[in-house]
Structure 1
Amino acid sequence: MNGNRGAVPVAFFGIAVGGLALANLWRVAIRVWHLPELAGTLLTVGALAVWVVIMLAYGHKWLTHAADARAEMAHPVQSSFAALGPVSTLLAAVLLQPYSHTLALTLFGVATVAQLALGAWLHGKLWQGGRKPELTTPAIYLPTVAPGFVAATASAAFGFHELGELFFGAAMLSWLALESKILHRAAVHDPLPEALRPTLGIQLAPPVVGGVSYLSLTTGTPDLFAYALLGYGLYQAMLLLRLLPWIRQQAFVPGYWAFSFGVAALPTMVLRILEHGATGPLAWAAPVLFIAANAIIAILVVKTLGLLVQGKLIPPAATTPVSTSAAVATVAAGSRIARAS
């Protein structure tokens, strides 16, 4: 890797979240379809290893590139990805629970407190105003919606159902409040810059991640609300397919991992619905969605490894202060390195 490369961008937590979400998908698939447990174990180990590496690398960034880290936390888009640190830790806690309950519960407690504190701080900045319209993207879901839904699922996994219901409510109402803001920006302002378009992949996550949370907190045959969340998730997936040629005008950068959480959560939700006793067309759709999710995340892994081998995964170290306009060009996890290097 080139010596002038900088430190790990905070958006790299999206890679950890995608890997952990895929491991969770396999865990559910093993229960429902009785797939080989070895595959799920290997994916879990791999995802946890990636999470640990990114956690350590980001912690090292605060020790060696503190100015860059502070600049990210001051940026209205980049700062939102910091919320994926606690989110990935909550996902890791759920995956670790069968192996070490004490460690998993400790991680759950730490991540829960961290996501509340970080979410309140980041969401509070939104209320203070001054955000430029071009910087309003689905990334604004990350400080409140993603941590709330994942904390709800994790709470249910550890037996704290009432706490999970509180987190679910906070995430659900935050999602509804923010969705119209994102759509309004998209409809009436200039198109998103190419470098920010991969963040649209986040749009798929709220209904299906929320759906997984809802199914974790409820019992019995899935009700109308569960199917409503799934229906909206399927619609968002169709919308992203329609927008994909436009989004892909941005050459591949790690920011495309923004798609991974929703991509993994969609078949996870369908499998959880089947696990709750549903039948019908979803039983046929589930294998297709499962294969598609694995294929999409495999493509992300291959392309990310390609950037790593070429020494282009980590963006160059900044030599001068970064303006807001320049930060827009680097927010998708590390600038247009794939195109410019």
Structure 2
Amino acid sequence: MSISLGTAGLGGAWQSASATVSAPGSVSDAFFALSSLLWLVLLARYLRHGGWHWRNILDDLRHPGQGFALAYVPIVGMLTAGHVSEYNLDGARWAYALFAATAAVIAARLLAHWVTGGLGSAPLHPGYLLPVVSAPFISSSVASNLHLPEVAAATFAVGILYWLAFGTVVLGSLVANGGSMPAPARPTLTVLTIPPATGGLAWTAAHHGVLDPVGYGFAGLVFFTLLIIAFLLPEVRQQSFHYGYWVFSFPAAASANFLIRWLAGTDMRGWETCSWLLLSVVNAAFGLLYAATLRHALRKRTGPGREQQATAEATTPAGTAG
């Protein structure tokens, strides 16, 4: 599902570029259409394999390593609802209400399970921040685009509280036990960039793109976190390509989206060129990901040992988290 989420994130970056540097809106539409198609196909497969049973959903939410991954479903839905609002505001608001409520239920259920010992001995990693921090920030950003300022303020407060609380726990666990994190799970470290990026987008959306001291504060957090990720690149590198590589996609897209908005707000000299350069780099990275994914899928269908390879990837934290 991270393929759909990353594609929606790239569509959001193009949407910001359309609003700031007059990028063609059709590109954003195309990426959101592709994301929606992937979302529908993957959700249908999940439901076909028993995901529609309430007991199976609860079992998935209780999974100590992958329970947070269900939050991908409503997050993609909220992002898509925010994009289509320019065509049908009322319909987008109803869709947003459904997905935001679903995201809230998933986050609350996960937290209730986690605080009662549900995580057990599972190593904490930044992926756990997705449903309880990033989802509220994304909900806030979309609510601002849908002209629902009260909802935007409420969900932003939820994101801030649990970023400070749960984010501290996750970071402390990484400092204390990061060395014991399995290699396949290390790409989730890049998810550290999502909370400041989505939080910054939520704040700038609520203030109509005007940068104030808080907006610059979020920018500082994004830049510093990207610097940390740069030093972590040797640690997150994998021996061979697998679908788990898509865990990198949304952090890159969300960071690019915020920085495009930030560049427009600073109005510094050459900001348009910097925005186009940033967008080009992210698009090139996504192009490589799409190409590698298609090649990998073809190899799995035609190469030897494809069943064993598929089984190995299904048990890979970074792969199934995405």
Band of TM-score, shorter chain: 0.7 to 0.9
How does the TM-score come out when normalised to structure 2? Answer: 0.87
For residue 144 of structure 2, the aligned residue among 150, 156, 161 is 156
Counterpart of 1:95 in structure 2 is: 83
Deviation for aligned residue 1:19: 0.6
Determine helix, strand or coil for the equivalent of 1:279: coil
1:223 aligns with 2:212: yes
| Conserved 8 A contact 2:21-2:272 | no
Provide closer, same or farther for how the CA distance between residues 67 and 162 of structure 1 changes in structure 2, counting only shifts above 3 A.
closer
1:251 aligns with 2:237: no
Deviation for aligned residue 1:21: 1.0
Identity %: 24
Counterpart of 1:330 in structure 2 is: 316
| Conserved 8 A contact 1:252-1:303 | yes
How does the TM-score come out when normalised to structure 1? Answer: 0.83
Deviation for aligned residue 1:246: 1.5
For residue 171 of structure 1, the aligned residue among 159, 164, 167 is 159
Letter in structure 1 aligned against 2:131: P
For residue 44 of structure 2, the aligned residue among 53, 56, 65 is 56
Deviation for aligned residue 1:106: 2.3
Q: How does 1:63-102 map to 2 (within 5 A)?
A: 71-102=59-90
Q: In structure 2, how many angstroms separate the alpha carbons of the residues matched to 1:240 and 1:82?
A: 25
Q: In structure 2, how many angstroms separate the alpha carbons of the residues matched to 1:295 and 1:91?
A: 22
Determine helix, strand or coil for the equivalent of 2:317: coil
Superposed CA offset, 1:65-111 (max 9, x none): 99976653321221101111111100010122223334322211110
Deviation for aligned residue 1:34: 1.6
Q: How does 1:1-341 map to 2 (within 5 A)?
A: 12=1, 14-62=2-50, 71-129=59-117, 131-132=119-120, 134-189=122-177, 190-219=179-208, 221-276=210-265, 278-280=267-269, 285-311=274-300, 329-334=315-320
Q: In structure 2, how many angstroms separate the alpha carbons of the residues matched to 1:220 and 1:43?
A: 23
Q: In structure 2, how many angstroms separate the alpha carbons of the residues matched to 1:219 and 1:64?
A: 39
Determine helix, strand or coil for the equivalent of 1:129: helix
Q: In structure 1, how many angstroms separate the alpha carbons of the residues matched to 2:38 and 2:218?
A: 30
Q: Which runs of 5+ in 2 are unaligned?
A: none
Q: In structure 2, how many angstroms separate the alpha carbons of the residues matched to 1:48 and 1:213?
A: 22
Q: In structure 2, how many angstroms separate the alpha carbons of the residues matched to 1:63 and 1:70?
A: 10
Provide closer, same or farther for how the CA distance between residues 47 and 332 of structure 1 changes in structure 2, counting only shifts above 3 A.
same
Provide closer, same or farther for how the CA distance between residues 206 and 64 of structure 1 changes in structure 2, counting only shifts above 3 A.
closer
Moved more, 77-86 or 99-108: 99-108
Provide closer, same or farther for how the CA distance between residues 212 and 64 of structure 1 changes in structure 2, counting only shifts above 3 A.
closer
Q: In structure 1, how many angstroms separate the alpha carbons of the residues matched to 2:232 and 2:175?
A: 14
Counterpart of 1:338 in structure 2 is: none
Q: In structure 2, how many angstroms separate the alpha carbons of the residues matched to 1:76 and 1:63?
A: 18
How many residues are aligned here?
315
Deviation for aligned residue 1:149: 0.6
Provide closer, same or farther for how the CA distance between residues 205 and 64 of structure 1 changes in structure 2, counting only shifts above 3 A.
closer
Q: Which runs of 5+ in 1 are unaligned?
A: 1-11, 336-341
Provide closer, same or farther for how the CA distance between residues 220 and 308 of structure 1 changes in structure 2, counting only shifts above 3 A.
closer
Counterpart of 1:7 in structure 2 is: none
